[in-house]
């Protein structure tokens, strides 16, 4: 089995970190993994995306043209990457930053107000963890517990105090996605 996931948004939205944590979680579970980042010319506010490939066997190429899953954190990313998601795939959309729904009906789209939920938790930087939680609520690649364990194992010591809120964000994202899928 091989799964490819695209994460996209503006610099500063935690897109790269979300991809890295997913890659660490898969690696910690004994999977083969690639993580390939791509940055725009600006650090914050420019475009940023990364591709994570998770597989049971050796990965032939980290390049992906039509990922079966994508997490988009803003409208430009939705506009650019929605057409590329493989038919039958999953698209997680940060509805806090996007003013339209997805236009395709051949994919599962989860609209999650990630920024709004992050603010409810008390830290706007958690939007990426809410989005990745939603992704895990839709795909059977890893569990929220797997991702929480990866956060705990790989987060720098100076940020360990943020773990409880990150765990809460992952859970809320997964719950929101599962609830939305059952209503579709």
Per residue in 32-49, pLDDT tens? 999 998 876 655 566 789
CATH architecture of the domain with residue range 2-182: 3-Layer(aba) Sandwich (3.40)
pLDDT of residue 41: 63
Q: What are phi and psi of 62, to 5 degrees?
A: -80, -5
Question: What are the domain boundaries of the chain?
Answer: 2-182
Q: What is the pLDDT of residues 92-126, one digit of tens each?
A: 999 999 999 889 999 999 999 999 999 999 999 99
- CA distance linking residue 108 with residue 69, whole number of Å: 9
pLDDT band for position 11 (50/70/90)?
Answer: confident
- pTM tops 0.85, yes or no: yes
- Sign of the CA dihedral running 124, 125, 128, 130: negative
Q: What is the pLDDT of residues 120-136, one digit of tens each?
A: 999 999 999 999 999 99
Q: How far is CA 44 from CA 12, 47, 77, 114, 131, in A?
A: 5, 8, 15, 19, 19
The Cα–Cα gap between 103 and 106 comes to 9
């Amino acid at each position: 089995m091989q799964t490819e996931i695209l994460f996209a948004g503006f610099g500063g939205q935690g897109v790269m970190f979300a991809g890295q944590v997913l890659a660490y979680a898969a690696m910690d579970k004994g999977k083969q993994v690639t993580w390939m980042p791509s940055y725009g010319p600006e650090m914050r506010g420019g475009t940023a995306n990364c591709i994570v490939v998770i597989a049971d066997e050796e990965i032939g190429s980290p390049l992906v043209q039509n990922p079966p899953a994508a997490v988009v954190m803003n409208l430009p990313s939705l506009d650019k990457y929605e057409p590329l998601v493989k038919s039958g795939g999953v698209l997680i959309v940060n509805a806090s930053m996007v003013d339209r729904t997805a236009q395709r009906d051949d994919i599962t789209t989860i609209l999650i107000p990630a920024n709004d939920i992050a603010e409810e938790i008390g830290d706007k930087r958690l939007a990426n963890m809410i989005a990745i939680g939603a992704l895990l609520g839709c795909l059977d690649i890893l569990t929220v517990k797997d991702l929480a364990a990866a956060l705990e194992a790989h987060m720098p010591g100076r940020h360990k105090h943020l773990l409880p809120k990150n765990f809460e964000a992952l859970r809320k994202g997964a719950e929101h996605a599962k609830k939305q899928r059952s209503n579709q």
